[in-house]
Amino acid sequence: MKINQENFVKELRRGNEKALLYVIDEYGGLLRSVIRRHLFALPDRQEECMNDVLLGIWNYSRDFDESRNTFQNWAAGVARYKSIDYLRKYKRELEQLSWEEVVISAEDEKLSAAVEQELSEEVGRMLDCLNETDKKLFLDIYGEDMDIEQVSRNTGMKKEVIYNRLSRGKKKIRQLFSRNGKEKSAYETQHL
């Protein structure tokens, strides 16, 4: 069977390897550019990330919903989130190295700062949909690892109110950044 634009998604879902080859041929450049954009400072991780992206597309092709997004956008979203996962993984690896095992050079510090900045920008974009109070709650609890008790004392809010605000914020973020990676426009974000 010849794989083409009309049948590749169906064949991918059936487990036809030729459909995956079609994805690589048609969307490989896009996927590589998304990965390079996020992992520009980690060229040695880009190929491994690309393999994980293709595996993700292969394993989760059933999750692609044609009515919600184009395959190109969905695949780019998979690449984006896998790249961010690689950044987080690299950051954790840097943090886990003991001071006795490694002397951090100026280049490593710059790389660490670039990774941190990329993650901060992504988090910032995700939290932009929240009001300032909720954004501060998210940053305190998830960014600074503060516990609910401490945040409650600092803000004067009851724990139940904090839990409710976090729950509503998570729901709003999920709606804006759906599973397939489609990010809504600024207009859609403001008019939810």
pLDDT, tens digit, for every residue of 19-35?
999 999 999 999 999 99
Q: Is residue 153 part of a domain?
A: yes
> Using an 8 Å Cβ cutoff, are 75 and 55 in contact?
no
Give me 146's structure tokens: 């503060």
Give me 48's structure tokens: 């491994």
Query: 90: Cβ–Cβ under 8 A, 6 or more apart, which residues?
Result: 42, 45, 115
pLDDT, tens digit, for every residue of 63-78?
998 888 899 999 999 9
Residues 65 and 145 in one domain: no
Residues in the chain: 192
Q: Is residue 10 part of a domain?
A: yes
How far apart are alpha carbons 141 and 148 in whole angstroms? 7
Residues 71 and 140 in one domain: no
- What secondary structure letter does DSSP report for 182? P
How far apart are alpha carbons 12 and 3 in whole angstroms? 10
Residues 8 and 75 in one domain: yes
Other CB atoms within a 10 A radius of the CB of residue 138 amount to 19
Residues 54 and 145 in one domain: no
| CATH code, domain carrying 94 | 1.10.1740.10
Residues 1 and 88 in one domain: yes
pLDDT, tens digit, for every residue of 128-173?
888 888 888 888 887 777 888 888 998 899 989 988 998 888 888 7
Q: C-alpha angle 71/186/129, rounded to 5°?
A: 105
Residues 99 and 132 in one domain: no
Residues 79 and 6 in one domain: yes
Q: Could you list the residue range(s) of the whole structural domain that residue 63 is in? A: 1-104
Residues 79 and 142 in one domain: no
Domain boundary among 72, 104, 136: 104
Domain count, the chain: 2
Q: Is residue 123 part of a domain?
A: no
